[in-house]
Chain A
Amino acid sequence: MIFSTLEHILTHISFSIVSIVITLHLITLLGNEIIKPYDSSEKGMIATFLCLTGLLTTRWIYSGHFPLSDLYESLIFLSWSFSLIHIVPYFKIRKNDLTTITASITIFTQGFATSGLLNEIHKPTILVPALQSEWLIMHVSMMILSYAALLCGSLLSVALLVITFRNIFYSSKSNNLLKLNESFSFGEIQYKNERNNIFQKTSFFSDKNYYKAQFIQQLDYWSYRVISLGFIFLTIGILSGAVWANEAWGSYWSWDPKETWAFITWIVFAIYLHTRTNKNLQGANSAIVATLGFLIIWICYFGVNLLGIGLHSYGSFTLTYS
């Protein structure tokens, strides 16, 4: 009883803190770079992280197994991973665009987890026989960490796309200089950027464009780094899952829908990483692939579970066993 009360309190605290952080971000956005709210939003995310850690530990203690056996727990773990990603680059580089994205996606997952939609599965359930393995921790935590990292990375790419295409939209009705913005590839942005430097003193627009291009470059770079990291987690997650499946189900790969979709995700992000190697495909093209990856992760994470098919949906898995 104490545990569930504690859990309740922690859930609500973390949710409120994230809401406050989002509000602070909005204020920062409107109030044009006030340093102070930014700092407190960082502190807020650390507090969220601690709350979620507490929440997961509580659940672990009173259910007696690693809290990753159903959707609710995995959602909490997902928002925990987001806040982890949020605070880790914070120690490394003081300020980057990831913070806004991680904060807003945390509120999304946290909000979904605590909303009434998933009410009936809030209670910690027993572990079905197939889940009773040390591989559970390794496989599921890696998968969710990778989802978190890949979602963040691909959201950065989505942001990049939005900014690039807004550029094009504006430039099409703007003056000659801005027409240079009609660019899809990064090389051109670069070129434009360099051009803008030349015109920097003569044009106000070019100055603005310079910062925009720099911002796009930042987005591109961080999206690439975060996705690379997420890809590592995804690889480890899928492979540890395969090894586990060879222990539990008798085959390391059985083309179960969840497996297949995880593999599709893996392939899409492999494509993303390959597009990075070619100059002609970089920039907006790779961002489009990452955006596709963003949708596919959600299909893999939620879609397959909602359909309740295959070996991974533990609702129907009990069919075989009890």
Chain B
Amino acid sequence: METLLLTLNPLKPQPYLFKFPNSRTPFTNNCRGFFSPISCKLSSQPSKDTTKNKVVVPGAAPSLSEENEPPAKVDSRPKKSGGAVVKRLTKRGLSVLANLPLAIGEMFTIAGLMALGTAIDQGENPEYYFQKYPEDNPILGFFTWRWILTLGFDHMFSSPVFLGTLVLLAASLMACTYTTQIPMVKVARRWSFLNSANTIRKLEFSDSLPKASIQDLGVILSGAGYEVFLKGPSLYAFKGLAGRFAPIGVHIALLLIMSGGTYSAVGSFKGSVTVPQGLNFVMGDVLGPNGFLSTPTEAFNTEVHVNRFYMDYYDSGEVSQFHTDLSLFDIDGKEVMRKTISVNDPLRYEGVTIYQTDWSISALQIVKDEEGPYNLAVAPLTVNGDKKLYGSFLPVGNADSTNVKGISMLLRDLQSVVLYDQDGKFAGVRRPNSKLPIEINGTKIEIVDAIGSSGLDMKTDPGVPIVYAGFGALMLTTCVSYLSHTQIWALQDGTTVVVGGKTNRAKVEFPDEMNRVLDRVPEINEPSDVILG
């Protein structure tokens, strides 16, 4: 492969080398950003090939000369003779980190580790792994629990191996941006007029327009969204320069997300609590620190009062939404906020977010034989199947005897209560608030209310603004990265205008677009004095 590439090289024109005095800057072109061009182009017009002695026109002309230069060479001929050892070492480290195959290797490793992380059950007891990955029957002949526990794969996404690879990738990102992308943009921005028709003809796309004026071309190009510069007989126009910058933005956005994520991990508080309707708690009691940078704030003294918990139901009886009406009281007992939260609609107060995540039933309020109301404790029952089930028990008769009998009540949600008599026989179904008493074994019971408790998740996450900024930047820059940076040169050569251009991404569409533009350039009927004179 190498030899073939070498044979290819002499065929490549390298006309712009002299134009860029800075072209020996140590960038290796290893990583030119997300959407870099197809730098080799097959000539698609066979007819042209016969007239030209070249077939290959590389994509980014200025950078071409560096394309096949190994990164190590940069160090072997330092530009400044007085370069300190430290500086050279940093440079060397940077060029190693910015190495594209290394970065690709890191990305593959991360992908592989993540896949492994979904394949191995996370966060189980060591005993679980002893059983599932036994030593006497290793998977693939070597993979046992020892691997998992030594490398920390039972908590993959916080294991040193995984985090280390991420850090390495972040370092590569930075090195690549610094050593490759930024110099690339510097080169791309340094535009110049081309003053030789031959150079223009050697571009990826070129055409000549007889009887045309370069001014007309300039007007049409600027109408087509190009920035046009005219100087004498030369024209330079470009479009989509942002497409060159954007990959840098992508890298910076990724770094932003990573740093935000790190800050989230070390600086946040988390906690969850199940509060019966009508009770309250203090935020600071629930929130537990996550990392060493977690510092409590004033807001932690806030008292949260659960005013009401209720559910919405579909006609079919299934739950459609959970709501909790919350009030926040500050340390002086003043209500500072009140909001009804639901899934997808959390409460935010001074950096603390309260989410509706879970629910349960805490008590049944009943009236027994016109007495009461009493609150009966409700406990969750574990039964096979995935639905929640709650139960309560009302003793009837002598509660102190060893053989207690009574009425059992079962609930699936807050809508209805199923009652069973002393013998365990089905007695009836009642809705809370229905004011319809039921008589079981001589006891009259009216279910006044089912009191739910709300499962709340709380967190403070100082990293979120940074992460969101990174998200926004990433979306924007990825979109902009799709833009193709197009450059056009033209030269008035007598009555003919020689036009040439290149683009870095939309290579196949580019000739069509150019042809459309050039078709609109009006033909000038030369004044007769040329012929007459």
Contact = CB atoms under 8 A, between A and B. Distances in A.
B353 interface: yes
B318 interface: yes
A264 B38 contact: no
B478 to A, nearest CB: 5
Given A193-B42, A242-B471, 6 more contacts: A129-B321, A187-B8, A194-B43, A213-B42, A221-B508, A229-B482
A247 B344 contact: yes
Contacts, number: 200
Contacts of B461: 251
Contacts of B33: 277
B111 A250 contact: no
A50 interface: no
A243 B346 CA distance: 13
A271 B468 CA distance: 24
B413 interface: yes
B104 A274 contact: yes
A239 B471 CA distance: 6
B261 interface: yes
A253 B319 contact: no
Contacts of A129: 319-322, 342-344
B346 A194 contact: no
A249 B506 CA distance: 41
B319 A321 contact: yes
Contact of B507 (A183, A221, A257): A221
A236 B473 CA distance: 11
Contacts of B261: 253
B85 interface: no
A131 to B, nearest CB: 8
Nearest to A285: B104
Q: Which of B100, B118, B461 has the most CB of A within 10 A?
A: B118
Interface residues of A, number: 77
A138 to B, nearest CB: 11
A243 B110 contact: no
29 contacts: A92-B509, A93-B508, A93-B509, A129-B321, A130-B343, A185-B5, A186-B40, A190-B55, A193-B43, A194-B55, A200-B46, A229-B482, A239-B471, A247-B345, A248-B355, A255-B117, A260-B117, A264-B111, A267-B111, A271-B107, A271-B108, A274-B34, A276-B35, A276-B38, A277-B32, A282-B40, A318-B386, A320-B358, A322-B319
Interface string B221-237: 00000000000000000
B1 A184 contact: yes
Contact of B320 (A126, A188, A221, A267): A126
Contacts of A267: 107-108, 110-111
What is the interface of chain B mostly: helix, strand, loop, or mixed? mixed
A102 interface: no
**Majority secondary structure, A binding face:** helix
A221 B510 CA distance: 13
A228 interface: yes
Given A273-B34, A273-B35, A217 B44 contact: yes
B103 interface: yes
B459 interface: yes
A246 B346 CA distance: 9
Nearest to B316: A126
Interface string B299-332: 0000000000000001010111110000000000
Contacts of A314: none
Chain B interface extent, by class:
35 or more
B474 interface: yes
Interface in A273-291: 273-282
A187 B40 contact: yes
A132 interface: yes
A319 interface: yes
A12 interface: no
Contacts of B87: none
B11 A278 contact: no
Contact of B67 (A235, A239, A243, A279): A279
Interface of A: 92-93, 126-127, 129-130, 132-133, 135, 183-191, 193-194, 197, 200, 210, 213-214, 217-218, 220-222, 224-225, 228-229, 231-232, 235-236, 239, 242-244, 246-253, 255, 257, 260-261, 263-264, 267-268, 270-271, 273-282, 304, 316, 318-322
A279 B7 contact: no
A247 B346 contact: yes
B314 A255 contact: no
B77 interface: no
Contact of B31 (A135, A268, A277): A277
Contacts of A252: 464, 467
B457 interface: yes
Nearest to B54: A194
B387 A322 contact: yes
Contacts of A276: 35-36, 38
Nearest to A196: B46
A228 to B, nearest CB: 5
B365 interface: no
A321 B111 CA distance: 32
A244 B343 CA distance: 11
A231 B30 contact: no
B368 interface: no
B61 interface: no
Contact of A321 (B7, B67, B322): B322
Contacts of B117: 255, 260
Question: Which of B11, B318, B475, B478 has most chain A Cβ within 10 Å?
Answer: B478
B479 A232 contact: yes
Contact of B55 (A183, A193, A217, A251): A193
A236 B318 CA distance: 32
Contacts of A271: 104, 107-108, 111
A50 to B, nearest CB: 27
Given A267-B107, A318-B386, A188 B4 contact: yes
Interface in B475-514: 475, 478-479, 481-482, 505-509, 512
A319 B345 CA distance: 20
B453 to A, nearest CB: 14
The 7 closest A-B pairs by CB, nearest first: A277-B36, A194-B55, A129-B343, A277-B32, A133-B344, A250-B355, A250-B457
A198 to B, nearest CB: 9
Given A190-B8, A277-B32, A322-B387, A132 B321 contact: yes
Contacts of A247: 344-346
Contact of A279 (B40, B342, B479): B40
A125 B44 CA distance: 53
Contact of A243 (B29, B35, B468): B468
